[in-house]
Amino acid sequence: MPSLGRLHLITDTRPGRDPLTVLRAALPVARAELVVQVRVEDDATDRQAYELARRVVALCRPYGATCLVNDRLHVALAVDAAGGHVGADDLPVRAARRVLGSAAVLGATAREPGSAAEAVAAGASYLGVGPCHATTTKTGLPAPIGPAGVRAVAAAVDVPVIAIGGVTAASVPALRAAGAYGVAVVGALSGAADPARATAELLGALTC
């Protein structure tokens, strides 16, 4: 299984956003520390997801960065991505593992120790844990769990914990201290005036 990067950039495909421009800025800075998760809106077609994922895989390859696909595992397979990420509304983790195969990277969403351990037992190779802090990027989320919630999950599993939800460079040290291996962000990069600089700041906070 490929080693996992610490900085996960989730594509922002909301209207008016330009995920590939953000990615082109982040890649030369983060290189193999970057994991790009292709996440499209629920009403996007499979063809749209496929075209975006195909471009992301091609952009990542020269830098040794990893591409994962959110939810749509058939798209992950079709573009030869390194793996995928599933949550409560997606394929169960064990089924996702069967689809992707034993060598793939498979992330699962968890917010408390019990379901986290179950996801790992079912085949998750990392966990996306959160929301850690308030976010406006996704609606309908439960209350933030904060660094203490991350700590509880990290103590219960032996796979990398990727903290997600309202993460900024300023919040990274507390999440790392709580046991997070890395972080996943949308707004911290997509909304940055200078995404290359924001990438460097996040990486600096992750690796110090």
Ligand X SMILES: Cc1ncsc1CCOP(=O)(O)O
x-marked contacts with ligand LCLJCK34 along 93-132 as a string, rule CB under 6 A: --------------x-x------------------x----
C-alpha pair distances (Å), 132 with each of 24, 146, 188:
27, 5, 14
The amino acid sitting at 161 is: V
Which residues are CB-contacts of 135 (< 8 A; sequence separation ≥ 6)? 141, 165, 166, 186, 187
Contact flag: residue 137 with ligand X (CB under 6 A): yes
152's tokens: 């509880």
Contact flag: residue 71 with ligand LCLJCK34 (CB under 6 A): yes
Torsion over CA: 65, 70, 73, 75 (sign): negative
Sites for ligand X among residues 148-167 (CB under 6 A): 164-167
Q: Which is nearer to ligand LCLJCK34, 98 or 138 (CB)?
A: 138
Chain contacts with Mg ion (rule: CB under 5 A): 71, 87, 90
Q: Which is nearer to ligand LCLJCK34, 143 or 193 (CB)?
A: 143
From the list ligand LCLJCK34, Mg ion, ligand X, none, pick the one residue 162 interacts with, judged by a Cβ distance below 5 to 8 Å according to partner type.
Answer: ligand LCLJCK34
The stretch among 51-59, 78-86, 100-108, 185-193 that binds ligand X (CB under 6 A) is: 185-193
Contact 164, 131 (CB under 8 A): yes
198's tokens: 């924001």
DSSP characters over 107-129 = EEEESSHHHHHHHHHTT-SEEEE
Positions in the binding site for ligand X (CB under 6 A)? 130-131, 135, 137-138, 141, 164-167, 185-188
